[in-house]
Structure formats: structure tokens, C-alpha cells
Amino acid sequence: MIDLHTHSIFSDGELIPSELVRRAAVAGYRAIAIADHGDFSNFDLIIPRLLRGIAGLREHFGIEVLAGIELTHLPPPMIAAAVAEVRKLGAQVVVCHGETLSEPVAPGTNRAAILAGVDILAHPGLITPEEVHLAKERGVLLEISTRKGHSLANGYVAKLAMAIGAGLVIDTDSHSPDDLTPWAKAEKIALGAGLTPEQIVGMRRNSELLVKKVTGRVLTL
């Protein structure tokens, strides 16, 4: 499993980064990004501490570890400035909390995040075809989520992305140890969203390529 959207105690997760990474390694993960919820009040708190906290974990636990951030419930006009700031602070993976069906995310968030060049638009809900075309053009990956509530639109997102040719990833949005998902289960969730085995391989490859882009390393099986 390559999981590029998880949370630690730096936002609303239950585990400190080292325990989260250790548990992911034991669950068979190949890579994990810790992408805690952030806005302008805590970017400078979360990102430097994650970068410090994950240092050395790859060598000791045998799993690739990335420091990310999830821009969460920001007003759409503020998203571009937020992306610029978190990248300056060293965020390796920039996720934006998309217009999920399970929360009152501001309309326009999906589009603003894509235009701002986030890496992953998380659980984008009923994203429009125009926005999916834009995500394809901008290289923004759309997320299939294993998390309850956020997963309600998985089938819709998968169908639209495959029709248009936009890239997908599958992530867990883990907040607790029980949320960590072995690849075999994630694969079944992707099949349930209507993806074919070949499309699932392509989705996993998208995650691998993002990790390689950030780290310069190729993940091994």
C-alpha cells in the first residue's frame, strides 16, 4: 500500500508520527505521507515538526515516509497562497480537502485547489467534468478514499476520471490505527468503485511516481 493521506496528533489523528509509521510498516505499507489538517494558523507548526519527526524513520522501519499537509476548509480564494506557503515550508505532498459529500466544504474548493497545483485533491465528491479535465491538464491526482463518508462518491469520481483520463490515487485518510488499510483491502474498495484490475495498477503507479518525484527513489515491492 502507498498511502499519501494520513493524520497524526498534529491535527486530529491518534498517533504520533513514529507510531503511525511503524504501524503502517507492520501493515505492509511501502510508503506513507503524513498530511495533517492545516490552515494559515498552523502551517509553520506542523510542517517543520513533521520533517524533523520523520527523519531516519525510513532507514529504521523500511518504509518511505513523506511530510505532507492537507489544506482543510480554507476559503477558495486563499488556497493558492496556502499552496505557495506550504511548499516554501517544505511540504513534500500537498493535499487539499475536497468537496466531500460528508462535510460542508465551500463550493469552489475543488477548482481552486486544482488551479493552485496541489498534488492530490482528496475525496472530491461530485466534482464536475470541467474540473476533472482541468485536473488532467494540471497533473492533479484525484483521490479514491477508503474512509467512510468520504468514500460515498468513489464510484462517481472513478467513472469520470477514467472517461476523461485524469489520474487517480487511493488513500485511507487514516486518523486511527484501525484506519490503516492493507493493499488487498484497498484493491477491493477500488474494484467496488468500478475500476478494472488494469486501472488499479495504473492508479498504484500514480502513487509510485509521486513518491519518486519527491524522493528521487523508486519504490521496491
Is 220 inside a domain boundary? no
**Residue 220 reports pLDDT greater than 80:** no
**Residue 65 reports pLDDT greater than 90:** yes
pLDDT interval class at 125 (50, 70, 90): very high
Average of per-residue pLDDT across 157-183: 98
**Residue 87 reports pLDDT greater than 90:** yes
Condensed to tens digits (0 to 9), the pLDDT of residues 17-28 reads 999 999 999 999
Specify whether the CB–CB gap between 116 and 83 falls below 8 A: yes
Average pLDDT, the chain: 97
Question: What is the extent of the structural domain holding 205?
Answer: 2-215
Specify whether the CB–CB gap between 108 and 76 falls below 8 A: yes
In order of 36, 118, 212, the CA distances from 54 in angstroms are: 14, 22, 17
Task: Tally the domains of the chain.
Answer: 1
Is 44 inside a domain boundary? yes
**Residue 221 reports pLDDT greater than 90:** no
Average of per-residue pLDDT across 53-71: 96
Condensed to tens digits (0 to 9), the pLDDT of residues 29-52 reads 999 999 999 999 999 999 999 999
What CATH number corresponds to the domain at position 77?
3.20.20.140
Report the distance separating Cα 15 and Cα 139, nearest Å: 31
* 97: nearest Cα among 75, 117, 123: 123
In order of 17, 134, 159, 167, the CA distances from 115 in angstroms are: 30, 8, 22, 15
Report the distance separating Cα 208 and Cα 155, nearest Å: 22
